Amino acid sequence: MDEADRRIVAATQDGLPLVPRPYHAVAAAAGLTPEEVMARMHRLLAEGAIRRIGAVPNHYALGYRFNGMAVWEVAEERVDALGARIAALGLSSHCYRRPRHPPDWPYNLFTMVHGRTREEALHWVETIAVVLGEAVRAREVLFSSRILKKTGLRLVG
Amino acid sequence: MDELDRRIVNALQGGFPVCERPFAAAAEGLGIDEATLLARLAALRAEGVLSRFGPLWKAEGLGGAVTLAAMAVPTERFEAVAALVNAHPEVAHNYERDHRLNMWFVLATESAAAIAVTIRAIEAETGLAVLNMPREAEYHVGLRLEA
């Protein structure tokens, strides 16, 4: 990622301008030509620096008030294969491996599920549990009870 | 939100084109015109149905660092500790969760070293241990929330 890429990040951090030629507007803000901005964004998408481009819905506004962090303790040597399988189900919005902190926290596979009801969210957790099967040594679901802060990631400026 | 709003939210959670007139291209796929799509997106954003519209950048690719951290906060100190934690600009999100580890926050910093510095500062200010749980692997997900 070079200086010009970072100027594109800064120009799009709050989103794309909602105008007919948004990449032209980004180009003007970043001091680049529109062709350069579009070529760089294609490259950044291909490299994965941009996860995706589009609408980011607010879970709560769509009625998904129940967000459960389902955490699983699985054998270290199986976590990558199982994580890939769980992600492919398309039931969780995030699926990560994270370090354990035994004895307080033995869990190494994290999945986020969303439901319009608590039951719906728990249904997705049970579906994941079926796929993980006997690989699971321990598990819990932590529901969020309150948002204490949400400013979003600010990476530049 | 009407039927068209739902179709827009469901169709545009990824794959928005990079071309000269991307809203016109996306509108065509929805059977509407560019001006209608732009107006609908502006309204959805203003109403808070969409938190944003645009590229979703991966923090690590930008040279920054992100981690998830958790604390077990005594109930009687919860509000005071939340205020101390939230005062750090590095704290992007903070959630209360129903567990002994009842405070979960995301730290986003310009460098990996700054994560450790921020965690030590929070531990010193609160007198509580912070469990650092950085992402070690990410499994690709394609979840789209249905509107």
**Do the domain assignments include residue A152?**
no
Q: Which of residues 93-152 of A touch B (CB under 8 A)?
A: 93-99, 101, 104-105, 110, 114, 140, 142-152
List the domain range (segments joined by +) for residue A25. 3-47
CA distance A87 to chain B (A): 5
Same domain for A74 and A139: yes
C-beta separation of B144 from B102 below 8 A: no
Q: Do you find a cis peptide bond into A106, omega within 30 degrees of 0? A: no
pLDDT above 90: residue A155: no
**Same domain, yes or no: A131 and A79:** yes
Round to whole Å and give the CA distance between A151 and A45.
Answer: 24
In this complex, is the C-beta atom of B86 within 8 Å of any C-beta atom belonging to chain A?
yes
pLDDT score of B57 = 87
pLDDT of residue A152: 62
Identify which of A145-149, B93-97, B137-141 has the greatest average pLDDT.
B93-97
| Secondary structure E strands in B12-136 | 50-57, 65-71, 91-97, 103-109, 131-133
Count CB atoms within 10 A of the CB of residue A87.
20
Would you say residue A119 lies in a domain? yes
What does the pLDDT look like over A72-127, one tens digit per residue? 999 999 999 999 999 888 778 789 999 999 988 999 999 999 999 999 999 999 99
Tens digit of each residue's pLDDT (9 = 90 or more) over B3-46: 999 999 999 998 999 999 999 999 999 999 999 999 999 999 99
Q: Do A79 and A130 have their domain in common? A: yes
* Tens-digit pLDDT profile for residues B77-91: 999 999 999 999 999
Is residue A157 included in any domain, yes or no? no
A119 and A73 assigned to the same domain: yes
Note whether A83 and A116 are same-domain residues.
yes
- In a domain, residue A54? The reply is no
Query: Which pLDDT does position A37 carry in this prediction?
Result: 98
Report the chain A residue with the minimal C-alpha distance to residue B6: A62
Q: Encode pLDDT of B91-102 as tens digits.
A: 989 999 999 999
Mean pLDDT, residues A1-5: 90
Q: For B110-121, what is the mean pLDDT?
A: 93
Q: Is residue A13 included in any domain, yes or no?
A: yes
| A27 plus A88 within the same structural domain | no
Contact with chain A for residue B105, Cβ under 8 A: yes
C-alpha–C-alpha distance, residues A124 and A119, integer Å: 9
The three-state (H, E, C) secondary structure of A89-150, written as one string: CCCCCEEEECCCECCCECCCEEEEEEECCHHHHHHHHHHHHHHHHHHCCEEEEEEEEEEEEE
Q: Are residues A21 and A76 in the same domain?
A: no
A91 and A39 assigned to the same domain:
no
Burial of B134 (0-12, 13-18, 19+ CB in 10 A): middle
| Residue A61 lies inside a defined structural domain of this protein | no
Question: Does the CB of A46 have a partner CB in chain B at under 8 Å?
Answer: no
Question: Looking at the structure, do residues A72 and A102 belong to the same domain, yes or no?
Answer: yes
Residues in A 74-103 with any Cβ partner in B closer than 8 A: 79-80, 83-84, 86-87, 90-99, 101
pLDDT-above-70 percentage for chain B: 95
Same domain, A70 and A43: no
| Residue A29 contacts B, CB cutoff 8 Å | no
Residue A70 shares a structural domain with residue A138: yes
Number of domains in chain A: 2
Q: Is the model's pLDDT at A154 over the cut of 70?
A: no
Residue A156 lies in a domain: no
Q: Is the ipTM of this complex over 0.90?
A: no
* pLDDT attached to residue A91: 79
pLDDT of residue A153: 60
Q: Are residues A27 and A83 in the same domain?
A: no
pLDDT greater than 50 at residue A157:
no
Q: What is the pLDDT of residues B43-64, one digit of tens each?
A: 999 999 998 999 988 876 677 8
What is the pLDDT, as a whole number, of residue A156?
A: 44
Q: In this predicted model, what pLDDT tens digit does every residue of A18-57 receive, in sequence order?
A: 999 999 999 999 999 999 999 999 999 998 889 899 998 8
Q: What is the pLDDT of residue B58?
A: 82
Average pLDDT over residues B96-114: 93
CATH of the domain at A138: 3.30.70.920
**Is B57 in contact with A94 (Cβ distance < 8 A)?**
no
Where do the domains of chain B lie, and which CATH numbers do they carry? 3-47 (no CATH), 59-133 (3.30.70.3460)
